[in-house]
């Protein structure tokens, strides 16, 4: 489809943004559709998303949006915490598609809009815990990953779900140049029962708006009981497989980053303790406030049963 923009056409011929967004306002009459798949990046950043409030949310104080969008790990845009916020504007997120294949009944490449129709959007206030010892509480907007997998039709031999992110060096400066901090594409994986758990979501927004580029636009994984690097960003492929798939950080350093990566205060990273964490926005410097790290990031009641009988120190 050819999209013409000013000054190619008269302003009188341009559909007002408000009317355009209302045209796609509801999915199934329940919640508003994400507009990420059909409008420009600048418009998408400001697009509001009306989502149902989820009872799965934490009641903890939400991290300021400014902090959550300027302190990020997204190595495709650089290794500094402020690099994504400064550089991710170069990423084009529309149009977007996600390939779903492997051990599924309906393998296909789906448009983003198609993926977002898998289930009504919900606002879920989840903790995000990073292995470096910092955490946030973010109001994500998304839907269960299980809805997408069920729509594709999971075959009986499938035991794991593999994910892959975008490779586009022209728009992702961390993927270009002589120094490459990680191998590309960034890949991640979950065991099938983890992927199908109702807490696991695909997020397309946060803070009532479309997902900013630096936070993984237009579609990212959120697994709240795991460390943040399991929440792969800017997803372009999902594959159902029978054997445990490789993951980027485990491949880079298996001694420090295990496949499961569950938040566990009793298992230290080789270079620092995981027993405490600092909540972003609660001070800085030598006297920053720290709090005890919660087992499974505070979601033990919901997910501990997934790992019954598993040695969590050996399977970190």
pLDDT of res. 285: 72
Residue 274 is given by DSSP the state -
Q: Can you tell me the distance from the alpha carbon of 84 to that of 215, in angstroms, rounded to the nearest whole number?
A: 8
Q: Can you tell me the distance from the alpha carbon of 122 to that of 118, in angstroms, rounded to the nearest whole number?
A: 12
Query: What are the tokens at 26?
Result: 């509801």
Of 169, 204, 161, 199, residue with least CA distance to 185: 169
pLDDT of res. 142: 98
Q: Can you tell me the distance from the alpha carbon of 134 to that of 297, in angstroms, rounded to the nearest whole number?
A: 12
Whether the CB-CB separation of 231 and 225 falls below 8 Å is answered with no
pLDDT of res. 179: 86
Residue 312 CB neighbours (<10 A): 16
Q: What Cα–Cα distance (Å) separates residue 310 from each residue in 192, 306, 314?
A: 16, 9, 8
Whether the CB-CB separation of 282 and 289 falls below 8 Å is answered with yes
Around 56, how many Cα atoms within 13 Å sit in the side-chain half-sphere?
26
pLDDT of res. 17: 41
Per-residue pLDDT of the chain (316 residues; tens, 9 = 90+): 333 344 444 443 444 443 333 333 333 333 333 443 433 434 444 578 989 999 999 999 999 999 999 999 999 999 999 999 999 999 999 999 999 999 999 999 999 999 999 999 999 999 999 999 999 999 999 999 999 999 999 999 999 999 999 999 999 999 998 889 999 999 999 999 999 999 999 999 999 999 999 999 999 999 999 999 999 999 999 999 999 999 999 999 999 999 999 999 999 999 999 999 999 998 777 778 899 999 999 999 999 999 999 999 999 9
Buried b (16+ CB within 10 A) or exposed e, 139-169: bbbbbbbbbbbebbebeeebebbbbbbbebe
pLDDT of res. 18: 39
Q: Rounded to a whole number, what is the distance in angstroms from the first to the last CA of the chain?
A: 47
- 147 SS3 class: helix
**How much is the pTM?**
0.86
pLDDT of res. 47: 74
Query: What are the tokens at 247?
Result: 């993951």
Query: What are the tokens at 140?
Result: 């994500």
Domains recognised in the chain with CATH numbers: 15-307 (3.90.420.10)
Residue 286 is given by DSSP the state T
* Distant-in-sequence, close-in-space partners of 175: CB < 8 Å, separation ≥ 6: 76, 167, 168, 169, 184
């Amino acid at each position: 489809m050819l999209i013409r923009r000013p000054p190619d056409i008269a302003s009188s011929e341009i559909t007002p943004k408000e009317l355009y967004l209302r045209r796609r306002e509801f999915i199934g009459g329940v919640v508003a559709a994400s507009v990420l798949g059909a409008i420009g990046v600048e418009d998408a950043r400001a697009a509001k998303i009306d989502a149902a409030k989820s009872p799965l949310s934490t009641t903890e104080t939400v991290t300021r949006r400014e902090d959550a969008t300027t302190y990020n790990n997204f190595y495709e845009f650089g290794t500094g915490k402020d690099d994504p916020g400064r550089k991710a504007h170069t990423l084009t997120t529309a149009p977007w598609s996600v390939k779903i294949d492997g051990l599924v009944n309906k393998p296909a490449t789906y448009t983003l809009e198609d993926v977002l129709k898998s289930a009504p959007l919900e606002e879920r206030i989840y903790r995000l815990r990073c292995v470096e010892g910092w955490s946030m509480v973010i109001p994500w907007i998304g839907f269960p990953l299980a809805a997408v997998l069920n729509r594709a039709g999971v075959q009986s031999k499938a035991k794991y779900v593999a994910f892959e992110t975008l490779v586009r060096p022209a728009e992702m400066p961390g993927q270009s140049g002589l120094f490459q901090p990680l191998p590309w594409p960034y890949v991640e994986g979950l065991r099938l029962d983890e992927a199908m758990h109702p807490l696991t979501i695909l997020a397309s927004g946060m803070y009532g708006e479309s997902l900013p580029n630096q936070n993984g636009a237009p579609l990212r994984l959120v697994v709240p009981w795991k460390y943040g690097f399991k929440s792969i960003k800017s997803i372009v492929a999902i594959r159902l497989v029978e054997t445990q798939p490789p993951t980027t950080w485990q491949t880079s350093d298996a001694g420090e980053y295990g496949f499961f990566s569950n938040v566990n205060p009793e298992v230290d990273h080789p270079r620092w303790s995981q027993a405490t964490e600092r909540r972003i926005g609660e001070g800085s410097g030598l006297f920053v406030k720290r709090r005890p790290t919660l087992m499974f990031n505070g979601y033990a009641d919901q997910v501990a049963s997934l790992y019954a009988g598993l040695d969590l120190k050996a399977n970190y």
